[in-house]
Amino acid sequence: MSDPSVSDRRQEYKLLFEFIRNAFPNEGVIPLHEPRFSALDKQYVNEAIDSTFVSSVGAFVDRFERQIAEYTGAGYAVAAVNGTAALHLALVLCDVQPGDEVITQALTFVATGAAILYCRANPVMVDVDRDSLGMSADALRNWLENNARKEGGVAINQSTGAVIKACVPVHVFGHPCRVDQIRDICQEWGIKLVEDASESLGSFYKGHHTGTFGDMGVFSFNGNKVVTTGGGGVIVTNNERLAQRAKFLSTTAKQPHPYEFFHPELGYNYRLPNLNAALGCAQLEQLEEFIEAKRELAHAYRDFFNLAGMSVTFVEEPLECRSNYWLNAILTSSEQEKTALLEAALEESVQMRPVWRLLHELPMFEDCAHDGLTASIELSRRLINLPSSVVRRR
């Protein structure tokens, strides 16, 4: 039998669907997040086609990298074929070796953990903060103090004897985590910091762009992100040597030469095609406008939930941040209510979705060490994402 309090809530859900339909007046099925394109996007893509440089060499790739570096304030940006490849390459650049350990969070998209496994390294998962949904600095510190020792400038897991090489916190749904504290802990323990900023282009923490706090930061330009290149990613860093290595390794480690093919080491074909970069250049010119629209939508959602007196809580940007509000999120009062709302949304052709399955619940990560993940588990039972596309002006 269904819980009557849940069925009573259907009336509240109706108000929410009305609000959403009003916010996206031109849509039939209301998608979770769809890209927005303009004449400028078509113009730049056409220019790339006309130039015949559609693959991994071309002026748009360099321009895209310059635009990203300038916007984020990073010293260097190196474009990649997608965010997952960029994460993998960043971990390779951190010298993550088979058998090493990499600390991350379970509340993330599978790609964060997959990149660690590509290195044949072992993920360790620590809990997240309830407000930011990103890695908890306290959880990181506690796990290290209880499980690691520092030896010769590196962190060693006392029970496995493995080197803890890197740490990959995630700025979930675009909300910055407490990355300054995480950076300090990583520095203290001799652990490399790679920010998974895939979702947080346009999000700033204490005045600095996400992705620029650690050794490297990674962004994704998949079709569902704030701006898209169709598929694409980028590594940002302030370290010139790392940037040069990233470019070299992502372009098959080919030694520059007018006609010789010499590859002194194993590289990757991870470069972003010029065609995709052309789209990215145009999209970046619209980024601030998109974020303004997304923040307006987020504030409208927040006001709706405050006024509607519903039993759900809107996830607001953490303090001292400007979030891009990539995906708006709410916390339902219970797992049962989450399912009821998702089912009702399905009937109404409004796309909502639960958060990803926690990494440690996926078969490939089930043997991984973790700290109990109390907040991650509780959040995952109650989180729902709401339609969050840039709202078209009427």
Ligand X SMILES: Cc1ncc(COP(=O)(O)O)c(C=O)c1O
Which residues are catalytically annotated? 225
User: Of the two residues 232 and 387, which places its CB atom closer to ligand X in the complex?
Assistant: 232
Residue 217 CB contacts under 8 Å (≥ 6 apart), including other chains: 72, 74, 194, 195, 197, 210, 211, 235, 236, 237
User: Of the two residues 108 and 122, which places its CB atom closer to ligand X in the complex?
Assistant: 108
Report the residue number whose CB is nearest to ligand X. Answer: 83
Residue 16 CB contacts under 8 Å (≥ 6 apart), including other chains: 304, 308, 310
User: Of the two residues 72 and 222, which places its CB atom closer to ligand X in the complex?
Assistant: 222
Distance CA 258, CA 206 (A): 46
Q: How far is the CB of 175 from ligand X (least distance, A)?
A: 12
Do the Cβ atoms of 192 and 183 come closer than 8 Å? no
Q: How far is the CB of 182 from ligand X (least distance, A)?
A: 16
Helices 179-189 and 137-147: angle between axes, nearest 10 degrees: 20
Q: How far is the CB of 117 from ligand X (least distance, A)?
A: 13
Contact residues toward ligand X (CB under 6 A) are 82-84, 108-109, 111-112, 170, 196, 198-199, 220, 222, 233
User: Of the two residues 9 and 171, which places its CB atom closer to ligand X in the complex?
Assistant: 171
Q: How far is the CB of 95 from ligand X (least distance, A)?
A: 21
Strand bridging mode 329-331 / 148-151 = unpaired
Q: Return the DSSP state at 361.
A: G
Cross-sheet strand order for the sheet of 329-331: 313-314, 329-331, 383-385, 353-354
Measured CA angle at 393 (ends 389, 394), to 5 deg? 120
Nearest to 169 by CA among 178, 159, 157: 178
Distance CA 271, CA 95 (A): 20
Q: How far is the CB of 388 from ligand X (least distance, A)?
A: 13
User: 3-class SS at 288?
Assistant: helix
Q: How far is the CB of 171 from ligand X (least distance, A)?
A: 8
User: Of the two residues 299 and 357, which places its CB atom closer to ligand X in the complex?
Assistant: 357
User: Of the two residues 9 and 88, which places its CB atom closer to ligand X in the complex?
Assistant: 88
